[in-house]
Amino acid sequence: MKMDDSIIEYLYIDNPRLDSYFEQISSPVMYEKVPVWKAVFGLAGPKAEATQIRPGRPFTTHEKVKVFHDYLRKKKLVIENRPAAPFDDELLNDSQSPKQFRKEVMSAQRVRLDKNEGLNIWVSTEPDKQSKNNRRPVGALFLIEDFSGKEDRIVTISAFSSLWALIQEMEPIIEKANSHIFEHAKNMEDRFGRDPVSVLKQIGAKFGPVRRIQATYRIRVCGMEMGANGATTTIGYPIVISAV
């Protein structure tokens, strides 16, 4: 199998989910043809003769990502933008089942909500492009690393309450995190949909630099804010994030 020769900087990979998906679409072992040379003695004298063997080896993480992305594209299981409306994937789909994954290039920041433990979220305040066909603007995207909550899709109105509800599902992490910062911020709920960055900073979240990334993710929540612009807000969990 020929892989892309470019060097990719992976910023985050959900290895348990990647492995779970990979074992459903590929053999766990890659076989490569390796030439083996040996000397053969005949009437005309010694000569070199080549044979091929096919030793097996496990796939590397990079190879798993490549196979996974190729499978999503081949099976048409991915949409390459964030939702413009709740259940946008079902509206765009041309088959019985909705698209399960999103793949998007964007500007985003990695946000640490707890300085001591690993509770991290990628925040992209808006997509690169707004479609003229959308009835309302496409708003922020929040991607929760190492998401361990339920995987069923829900639709809500408030981005803040949705984010808080999802973090509460992650019991092993939320017990370690400074969950009180969310309680103090409930009065900021209306403002969160319009300016999530300033609200998160105000409650103590630490922001990394803005980076250009490509993220493959699954949607957990998609809703519409009740503010003036009524923008859509999407919350999901990333499978792969790489720098672009």
- Residue the block writes with tokens 């109105």: 157
pLDDT reported for residue 77: 92
Closest CA to 100 of 218, 214, 208, 179: 218
Cα separations in angstroms, 56 against 15, 47, 60: 22, 29, 12
Q: Is residue 30 part of a domain?
A: no
Average pLDDT over residues 217-232: 75
Q: Is residue 1 part of a domain?
A: no
pLDDT surpassing 50 at residue 172: no
Tell whether pTM > 0.85: no
DSSP structure class, residue 186: G
Average pLDDT over residues 48-61: 75
pLDDT reported for residue 15: 97
Q: Is residue 26 part of a domain?
A: no
- The whole-angstrom separation of Cα 143 and Cα 164 is 13
**Rounded mean pLDDT of the chain?**
77
Domain limits for position 105: 63-243
pLDDT surpassing 90 at residue 97: no
pLDDT reported for residue 31: 66
- Cβ-based neighbour number of residue 19 at 10 Å: 14
Q: Is residue 19 part of a domain?
A: no
pLDDT reported for residue 200: 81
- The whole-angstrom separation of Cα 112 and Cα 234 is 19
The helix/strand/coil state of 177 is coil
Question: Which tens digit of pLDDT belongs to each residue from 102-137?
Answer: 999 999 999 997 665 668 999 999 999 887 766 778
Q: Is residue 166 part of a domain?
A: yes
Q: Is residue 134 part of a domain?
A: yes
- The whole-angstrom separation of Cα 232 and Cα 126 is 10
- The whole-angstrom separation of Cα 244 and Cα 242 is 7
Q: Is residue 192 part of a domain?
A: yes
Q: Is residue 46 part of a domain?
A: no
Domain count, the chain: 1
